[in-house]
Amino acid sequence: MSIESASDDCTGRVPFDLEPNHQSRQLPVEPRWLATVNILALIGLYLALPERLTLGPTWLMPVVTFSLLIPAIISHRRRQIRLNVVLGITLLLVITAAEVWSLSILIAGLPSKRQPPFELLRSAAALWVSNILVFASWYWRLDAGGPHKRYLRASHTAGAFLFPQMTLPPDSKLFRRDWKPDFIDYLFLAFNTSTAFSPTDVPVLSRWAKLLMMIQSAISLSTIAILAARAINIL
């Protein structure tokens, strides 16, 4: 399968080139330190939650995360693409499940007013930020076949999201033929989704991306509703 034919055709499919090819061996390994820092930030935010909001003991999720993150980093450096994709998606599933669990427990305990105000606000804020970071990782991991396939392409012309750089005319001073989105672009997209509850400058083209953005907006809205409800109660 050629690189071009494996690109996301915006029909909702999320294709992956799971086997390293000859071209990937000749290219340097693409940098992923921002994605790694993002995962470490998620672990820190999770540790800031009270233990009653965590899935199992507080230490359980960080241990599971590191047990997946370290092999993911090693497999990426060794260009074991299939293993890296499996580990990366499994890691995000674990983090997402832990976040949804924590938010569910937080919402369930709201009517009883058992949480101290400061603890409630701190937990809601941590979950709101975590929501941005985890969905930024999902968009980065899935768009246009994932970071490995995007890195192999000469330019980013197809995917689940239509970034402004993709619509610039060739005669524009800002036009770059070799432009590709990196983690910051997906982080910005996730931030806008959690604050505006919709995409702003980046139209969504694929069904799977629309579904993920709906889930992210719902989580963000639920978290903000908790903060608003507590503020009204205090007044």
Whether 27 has a pLDDT exceeding 50, the answer reads yes
| Cα(71)–Cα(54) distance, integer angstroms | 24
Residue 235: which pLDDT band, with cuts at 50, 70 and 90? very low
Whether 123 has a pLDDT exceeding 90, the answer reads no
Query: 3-state SS of 39-107?
Result: HHHHHHHHHCCCHHHCCCCCCHHHHHHHHHHHHHHHHHHCCCHHHHHHHHHHHHHHHHHHHHHHHHHHH
Q: Give the pLDDT confidence score for residue 13 in this predicted structure.
A: 44
Residue 22: which pLDDT band, with cuts at 50, 70 and 90? very low
Q: Give the pLDDT confidence score for residue 233 in this predicted structure.
A: 64
What's the pLDDT tens digit per position in 173-189? 777 777 888 899 999 99
Residue 145: which pLDDT band, with cuts at 50, 70 and 90? confident
What's the pLDDT tens digit per position in 146-161? 888 888 887 787 888 9
Q: What's the distance, CA 149 to chain centroid?
A: 17
3-state class (DSSP) for residue 211: helix
**Can you name the residues that pair with 204 across neighbouring β-strands?**
161
What's the pLDDT tens digit per position in 44-103? 999 999 888 888 888 999 999 999 999 999 999 888 999 999 999 999 999 999 999 998
| Cα(114)–Cα(60) distance, integer angstroms | 24
| Cα(200)–Cα(42) distance, integer angstroms | 24
